[in-house]
Chain A
Amino acid sequence: MKWIEHNKADDTERWLGETLKAAQQRTGDEVARRRVWARIEGLPSGKDLPVRRARSLALPALTGALVAVGVVAVLWMVPATRPTRSPVAAKRMAPAVASASQPVLVAPQVASQVLPATPVRTGRGEKARVALVGGAGVELDANSVLSWDAERRPAVERGQARFEVPHQAPGTRFAVSAGPYVISVVGTKFHVGVGDDRVSVEVEEGVVEVWRGARSVRLVEGDSWAGPIRGLASPTVERRPSAGTSVRRTSLVDSTVRAENGPANVELTAARIALSEGRPEDALAMLTHCSKGVGPAAENAAYEMGRVLRDGLHRPRAAVAAWVSYRTRFPKGLLRAEADLSILETLARVGDKAAALSEAEAFLARYPNSERRDEVAKLAARVRGAP
């Protein structure tokens, strides 16, 4: 028999019974549920499922913890020899090691924990070898910089790098970013070069895909390719086969329609990266392109255009127009509630009292059971009270 159905012995048990009953009525955040749906709606079948890779924490953390416990014990037993270096400085020893003149192999567990926060730089005549998660490795040539992007992918910022990627588990891909491009592989050896105005890729073994937004080019063994860093679109890029075969020219292919879910999501991801790197115009262009497609990615892009306009480009009126356009196009869209809220918040922020109140009333009428109801009602009250 359920506790809540018992005759409770005292006030505490009565309170617990009632609170557990109240916990049964928790509905969760409606907008959060819609966001999750937007992400899983277009799941492709089988091995192509876009599962987020969990941050590899357990094993490296356990190893690190055991080592750390030993180090702490030693340090506390010998206080006089305790280092004065700050915790942050201690973490940043890695690049100093990695940028030594001799090639250095960094253990994978160290790479996964420390390196993503710390770019590896090589100077003149220096080389570095860095182990990456998933058994991959990269050799950095002289005068090169390797860092990690917002998606924790290795990013060649400058110079030349040769990657060796073992065959990845089904459903997973290894990706490297270089300028505005994302190089996606299953298992291969390839070189990436980033100059002042060009990114180049040469494939030693296997197959590589180079993505920019929703456009991609597929390179096979022996191919080399180069594309410009600046400019939004690179309609035609050179593709030079290895010696002995004829020269071909090919373009990045518009892949929004070609693939089910991945490429459009790649474009969304690229847009988010562009935004995080302070390139809101690029982000907006990618989102605009993506929003012209179909499916959940297009819907997400149509919604996110508003966020870029408001938060990245500081054009709140244009943002409201973008969200209104989203509502018109996706009247029953999964992000409809979020778009409604965003419009309301933005109108309140720019001081458009009448429009904000009208939006608030419409929201309360449309979502009578929303968990954001109180929040919207308070916002409406604040707008009403504003001079």
Chain B
Amino acid sequence: MNQQNPAGSQRTGPLAEDQALVERFRNGDTHAWRVLYERYSQPVFRFVSALGVPPEEREDAAQDVFVAVFRGLRSFRGEAQLSTWIYRIAARHASHLGRRRRMRSFLALLPWHEAEPEPQPDPAEKASELRLLDRLLAKLSPKKRMVLVLFEIEGLGVNEIANVMGCPPNTVWSRLRHARAELVKAARRIAT
């Protein structure tokens, strides 16, 4: 787990803090909601970006994720880590948006359908390497992309990813292996 990622799986400190935060939220402490947002908004923005949500949809996506978190926190049973639970919500929402985008792309092929404008690169995103990485990630299937992003960028463990995606850990390993191979292949193709 990288230090940047507050959604850590191996740190007891943040885990205990998360529990305390949830308790405070349940007891009506409104400041706890802000602390929770400050802690998880960057990971959520980063995660939905890495999953290919275009810049113009990221704010709405993040808003929907946090509204779902707000709604669910009172009934959050704590069976999974708070971070895993938030990632699961974000993953589900990003997948939904991805399906809608693919549907729109399909409809855009129809002769009388007005084509959607191409998504613009994030003006805040300066590094061309990261834009290239996004292009490479876009070549992966949604499930492989999610596994790779959760493991390599978000720093989750395989068991946590299995929890987020609702599949066995072996499936996560398998998808990760294929995703890496496909990513390298795509990168080599571009390099040549």
Chain A residues within CB distance 8 Å of chain B: 2-4, 11-13, 15-16, 18-20, 22-29, 32-33, 35-37, 39-41, 43, 49, 51-52, 57-58, 61-62, 64-65, 68, 72, 87, 90-91, 371-372, 374-375
Q: A13-B184, A16-B184, A40-B63 are in contact. Are A23 and B107 (CB under 8 A)?
A: no
Q: Which of B15-23, B80-88, B148-156, B161-169 interfaces with chain A?
A: B148-156
Of B34, B60, B66, B67, most buried by chain A (CB within 10 Å of CB) is B67
Contact B107 A52 (CB under 8 A): no
Shortest C-beta distance, B162 to chain A (Å), equals 17
Residues of A within 8 A of B152 (CB): 2-4, 20, 23
**B175 interfacial contact with A, CB 8 Å:** no
What separation, in Å, do the CA atoms of A281 and B50 have in the docked complex? 42
Q: A29-B122, A33-B41 are in contact. Are A12 and B66 (CB under 8 A)?
A: no
22 contacts between A and B (CB under 8 A): A12-B191, A13-B184, A15-B129, A22-B129, A26-B50, A28-B45, A28-B58, A32-B58, A33-B41, A33-B45, A33-B62, A37-B37, A40-B70, A41-B34, A43-B33, A52-B63, A61-B104, A62-B103, A65-B103, A87-B112, A87-B113, A371-B124
What separation, in Å, do the CA atoms of A23 and B131 have in the docked complex? 10
- Extra inter-chain contacts (10) besides given A72-B110, A87-B114, CB under 8 Å: A12-B188, A19-B130, A20-B133, A22-B127, A33-B62, A36-B59, A61-B107, A65-B103, A68-B110, A87-B112
The contact size tier of chain B is 35 or more
What separation, in Å, do the CA atoms of A372 and B125 have in the docked complex? 10
Chain A residue at minimum C-beta to C-beta distance from B112: A87
Contact A16 B183 (CB under 8 A): yes
Contact B4 A25 (CB under 8 A): yes
What separation, in Å, do the CA atoms of A25 and B49 have in the docked complex? 12
**B170 interfacial contact with A, CB 8 Å:** no
What separation, in Å, do the CA atoms of A3 and B107 have in the docked complex? 37
What separation, in Å, do the CA atoms of A65 and B5 have in the docked complex? 41
Chain B residue at minimum C-beta to C-beta distance from A34: B41
Interface of A (DSSP majority class): helix
What separation, in Å, do the CA atoms of A20 and B154 have in the docked complex? 10
Tell me which of B62, B114, B153 contacts A23 (CB under 8 A).
B153
Chain B residue at minimum C-beta to C-beta distance from A371: B124
What separation, in Å, do the CA atoms of A370 and B107 have in the docked complex? 38
Residues of A within 8 A of B71 (CB): 49
Chain A residue at minimum C-beta to C-beta distance from B46: A26
Contact B63 A57 (CB under 8 A): no
What separation, in Å, do the CA atoms of A41 and B71 have in the docked complex? 13
What separation, in Å, do the CA atoms of A282 and B106 have in the docked complex? 41
Q: Mark B1-29, 1 if CB is under 8 A from A, else 0.
A: 01011000000000000000000000000
Q: Mark B125-152, 1 if CB is under 8 A from A, else 0.
A: 1110110110000000000000000011
Residues of A within 8 A of B32 (CB): none
9 closest Cβ pairs, A-B complex: A28-B45, A87-B112, A371-B124, A29-B124, A20-B152, A19-B133, A26-B46, A19-B129, A23-B153
Contact B124 A372 (CB under 8 A): yes
Residues of B within 8 A of A62 (CB): 103
Contact A26 B183 (CB under 8 A): no
Chain A residue at minimum C-beta to C-beta distance from B106: A65
Contact B62 A36 (CB under 8 A): yes
Chain A residue at minimum C-beta to C-beta distance from B3: A24
Contact A23 B133 (CB under 8 A): yes
Residues of A within 8 A of B114 (CB): 87
Contact A28 B49 (CB under 8 A): yes
**B123 interfacial contact with A, CB 8 Å:** yes
Tell me which of A13, A24, A87 contacts B111 (CB under 8 A).
A87
Contact B49 A26 (CB under 8 A): yes
Contact B2 A24 (CB under 8 A): yes
Residues of A within 8 A of B67 (CB): 40, 43, 49, 51
Contact B42 A33 (CB under 8 A): yes
Contact A37 B184 (CB under 8 A): no
What separation, in Å, do the CA atoms of A2 and B169 have in the docked complex? 16
Contact B49 A3 (CB under 8 A): no
Chain B residue at minimum C-beta to C-beta distance from A28: B45
What separation, in Å, do the CA atoms of A189 and B2 have in the docked complex? 57
What separation, in Å, do the CA atoms of A24 and B188 have in the docked complex? 22
Residues of A within 8 A of B151 (CB): 2
Tell me which of B58, B103, B129, B187 contacts A61 (CB under 8 A).
B103
What separation, in Å, do the CA atoms of A43 and B71 have in the docked complex? 9
What separation, in Å, do the CA atoms of A57 and B125 have in the docked complex? 29
Residues of B within 8 A of A41 (CB): 33-34
Residues of A within 8 A of B42 (CB): 27-28, 33
Tell me which of B37, B60, B107 contacts A64 (CB under 8 A).
B107
What separation, in Å, do the CA atoms of A36 and B112 have in the docked complex? 36
Contact A32 B2 (CB under 8 A): no
Tell me which of A18, A19, A40 contacts B66 (CB under 8 A).
A40
Contact A28 B46 (CB under 8 A): yes
What separation, in Å, do the CA atoms of A23 and B145 have in the docked complex? 14
Contact B180 A3 (CB under 8 A): yes
